[in-house]
Amino acid sequence: METTIKSTDYEMTEGVSDYIEERMAAVRKHLGANDAPMRCEVEVGRRAAHSKHGENYFAEVQLVRPGERIVRAVAEAETVQAAVDIVKDEILAILRKDKTKQSSRLRRVGTRVKEWMRFGRN
């Protein structure tokens, strides 16, 4: 999985970059070792440059998988690290939900095919 990190109105440090890579490793682990080329675009930055308190920082992750829909999540928090943690959890929740939907859909189709093979012939 190719990971691209971009910062907006925020000076990226090596520690923050390593932190993002570490958190995106959980997403990479969840997706498995597919041979399909995937792209993970991460953007972090400040929402309001003039404000000193509140949820000023944001993190946005966009996961592009060929042949499937684009998965996107955005989070805001008081620190960049907190925003990255929140957005990682959201991406993992979306991926788990998609996997559950796919497996249940496959099960339903398999059941219909099996019923058709048993009772569908005249």
- Asked, for residue 33, whether it belongs to a domain, the answer is yes
The average pLDDT across 3-7 equals 87
Confidence of residue 18 (pLDDT cuts 50, 70, 90): very high
Q: What is the pLDDT of residue 122?
A: 46
The average pLDDT across 94-103 equals 87
Task: Tell me how far CA of residue 95 lies from CA of 2, 23, 36, 98, in angstroms.
Answer: 17, 15, 16, 5
CATH number at residue 19: 3.30.160.100
Task: Give the residue numbers spanning the domain of 81.
Answer: 2-91
- Asked, for residue 44, whether it belongs to a domain, the answer is yes
Half-sphere exposure of 57 (CA within 13 A, CB side): 19
Q: Mean pLDDT in the chain?
A: 85
3-class SS at 59? strand
The domain tally of the chain equals 1
Q: Find tokens 């440059």 and name the residue.
A: 49
3-class SS at 55? coil
Q: What is the pLDDT of residue 72?
A: 93
State pLDDT tens for residues 57-70: 899 999 888 888 88
What is the Cα–Cα distance from 81 to 11, expressed in whole angstroms? 14
